Each structure stands twice: as C-alpha cells, then as structure tokens.
Amino acid sequence: MQEHDSKPLPDFIEYSPEEMEQRSEEFYNEIKRRHTVRMFSDRPVDRKIIENCLKAAGTAPSGANHQPWHFAVISNPEVKTAIRDAAEKEERAFYEGRAGEEWLDALSPLGTDDHKPYLEKAPWLIAIFAQQRGGVTVEEERKNYYVRESVGIATGFLINALHHSGLTTLTHTPKPMTFLNEICQRPKTEKAYILLVVGYPSDDATIPDHATIKKPLEDICSFI
Ligand code: IYR
C-alpha cells in the first residue's frame, strides 16, 4: 500500500458466529418493519433525535471520503407550506400527464396523487442535497466523485437510523425538485436528491398492499 497516515482500526467488535447469525436475523426483523408511510401525525419529534440520525447518516462511506451531501432540515411551518405549494404545483403537472402513461400505470397500486398534505403535517422535512464540488472539509472546493452513489448510501443510513429511533419516513421525490434550492437557500452546484418526510404515522395510517410485496431471497441474489 502507498505511504499514508493511518491508525489501527479503532472500534471493530468481533462476535462469535452464533452471535453474528443472531444479530443478522435481529437486524432483518427490525428493518423489515420499515414501511414507507404517507399518512403522518403532527406530533412533535425532538430535534435531538433528528440530529443523532443525521450524525449516523454522516458516517456513510463516500467517494474519496468527500461526504458530498447536505441535509437541509425544516420544521418551520411557513417553509413547510412553501415546500408543499411548490411540490404540489410540480406534481399536478406530473399526474396530469407529464409522467406518461407507463409511469402513471406503475404508480396506480400506490394510490398516490398530487395532494401532499404530509409536507405540512409531518414535524420534520429533510431536503437532501448532492454536492458536485466540495472536499473532506466544507472549506474545500474540489471535484466530488461517485456523488449519487454516496448520497444514496447516506440516505439509506438516515432512513435506517430514523426507523431504528421509532420514526416513519417517506422518500418523496417531487419532479423536478429545483424549487428546493431556492427555498432551502442552497447553491446551484447542489442538486436536490430526495425530500424525506419524517414523523410519527397517523393513528389511521395505512400502507398499500403493493408495497408489501418483497422479492424473495432467491429472486434478489445469486451465489456464484
Ligand atoms: N413524485 C410523485 C410520483 C411518485 C413516483 C414514484 I417512482 C413513486 O414510487 C411514488 C410517487 C409523488 O410523490 O407522488
């Protein structure tokens, strides 16, 4: 390996094979209770929980460790209303035809439409931005690498952390999402990636049957 500054692996924990099997099963049992929810309660959620989950997201692997993400976290009701208004405007055009027949057909079992009340109701919105330029500190202005992969992994960590904390999420993707740059005051060099809606589910929350169809192991992997 090339000469570089390094330290011994600081915090790896070795488990017995039995513990490993148990932990892997427990993790699966926890993560399979994660469901995308579109019916939120307005019950408040402490900022500290959101901050811990964002710290977890920030540990994700990334291209050259440049951590090319920014999380704009919104709880202000006026900002939420502005986001809802802008998102519903785009979604109206989407559902009125911009999506095309094939896409709308794929969405029909989910029951989604241009009505997005959760953008005002849920206590937290997290607008996730992908940075084309940056570096290992925020002062740097270098090229970033594997930006979408890195931000996707960090978003996965965040969704997992929020679920583990006892919250539900919706990975919302209004199309286009460019309005988020202006509302969240982010530079044009950042691209809105996903708008995560975070909170408790409403008491009458449901999930579409369609969303519970998960491909079995043999259909998602091959051991070669
Ligand atoms: N952004 C729209 C449409 C939508 C698209 C996909 I792909 C989904 O899995 C769900 C919805 C909306 O949020 O309604």
**pTM, to two decimals:** 0.97
User: Is 119 near ligand 1, meaning CB less than 6 Å away?
Assistant: no
For residue 174, give the ligand 1 atom closest to its CA.
Answer: 1
Q: What is the pLDDT of residue 73?
A: 98
Q: How far apart are CA 155 and CA 57, in angstroms?
A: 7
Residue-range domains of the chain with CATH: 40-219 (3.40.109.10)
Report how far ligand 1's centroid is from the alpha carbon of 112 (Å): 7
User: Is 91 near ligand 1, meaning CB less than 6 Å away?
Assistant: yes
CB 104 within 8 A of CB 95: yes
Q: What is the pLDDT of residue 175?
A: 87
User: Is 64 near ligand 1, meaning CB less than 6 Å away?
Assistant: no
CB 170 within 8 A of CB 191: no
Rounded to an integer, the average pLDDT of 198-215 is 98
User: Is 134 near ligand 1, meaning CB less than 6 Å away?
Assistant: no
Mean pLDDT of the chain: 97
pLDDT digits (tens, 9 = 90+) for 73-109: 999 999 999 999 999 999 999 999 999 999 999 999 9
State both tokens at 55. 């710290």
pLDDT digits (tens, 9 = 90+) for 47-66: 999 999 999 999 999 999 99
pLDDT at residue 213 greater than cutoff 90: yes
Q: What is the pLDDT of residue 106?
A: 97
Q: How far apart are CA 169 and CA 35, in angstroms?
A: 8
User: Is 107 near ligand 1, meaning CB less than 6 Å away?
Assistant: yes
pLDDT digits (tens, 9 = 90+) for 165-191: 999 999 999 989 999 999 999 999 999
Report how far ligand 1's centroid is from the alpha carbon of 116 (Å): 11
Nearest CA to ligand 1 atom 8: 107
pLDDT digits (tens, 9 = 90+) for 99-144: 999 999 999 999 999 999 999 999 999 999 999 999 999 999 999 9
* 78, β-bridge pairs: none
Nearest CA to ligand 1 atom 6: 107
Query: Residue 184: which H helix or E strand, with range?
Result: helix 179-184
Ligand 1 pocket mutation pick from 107, 114, 193 by most atoms within 8 angstroms of CB: 107
Q: What is the pLDDT of residue 147?
A: 98
Q: Which amino acid, residue 180?
A: L
User: Is 173 near ligand 1, meaning CB less than 6 Å away?
Assistant: yes
Q: What is the pLDDT of residue 19?
A: 98
Q: How far apart are CA 121 and CA 41, in angstroms?
A: 7
Rounded to an integer, the average pLDDT of 3-7 is 97
Q: What is the pLDDT of residue 217?
A: 98
